[in-house]
Amino acid sequence: MKTKKLIIFTISTFIISISSFAQLNISSNDNLVTIGEHLYMKTSQIKLSKDNSTGSYIFLYKDGEYQTIQDWKTFTINNEKSINQLYDLCTKMITEKAKEPVIINLEENNKLVVSYTKSWKGITFTIYNSAGVKSSTAPPMKQKNLDSLFGKD
């Protein structure tokens, strides 16, 4: 009797797991095109890609908060005009050695804070969630890294 219950339990678990897998909405990466990336010691630190199906730009970056943990985060910019404005803003901040950070509102009430770091002589991206809590920080970038990331080199 116990064996029969075990077999029924195993079969029902298998059927449930198959139906759960069938609910996944899997899409291809055929529409994703890499614009550029910032490498440090031949390792990707931040990458910019364009989703041709939506026209949005996706930043994928290694969270700089923890050096020993491989924690990757993303944020999205919706169109080419905004991506060009972000590049121009970052370039201007590096050139002028901006003292004040710039706050950009993202989707879902998240905020992107672009800051100039004097010690690195470059900029950093920091993401704050909707509650105003620091979520992650992208690695700092100098102008040449920024040019490489935005495909301007």
Q: What's the pLDDT at 120? A: 73
Contact 81, 70 (CB under 8 A): no
Q: What's the pLDDT at 2? A: 62
Contact 34, 49 (CB under 8 A): yes
Q: Which residue has the tokens 């080419």?
A: 80
Q: Which residue(s) pair with 105 in the sheet?
A: 111
Q: Which residue has the tokens 């041709």?
A: 52
User: CA geometry: angle at 37 spanning 36 and 39, to 5°?
Assistant: 150
Contact 61, 138 (CB under 8 A): yes
Prediction pTM value: 0.73
User: Domains in the chain, please, with CATH?
Assistant: 32-149 (3.30.2450)
Q: What's the pLDDT at 11? A: 65
15: its two tokens: 């059927």
Q: What's the pLDDT at 92? A: 92
Task: Provide the residue-wise pLDDT of the chain in tens; the chain has 153 residues.
Answer: 666 666 665 665 555 555 554 555 555 566 788 888 776 655 657 888 898 888 888 888 877 676 677 778 788 888 899 989 999 999 999 999 999 999 888 877 888 888 898 877 788 888 888 878 888 888 788 899 888 888 887
- The Cα–Cα gap between 118 and 140 comes to 11
Q: What's the pLDDT at 13? A: 59
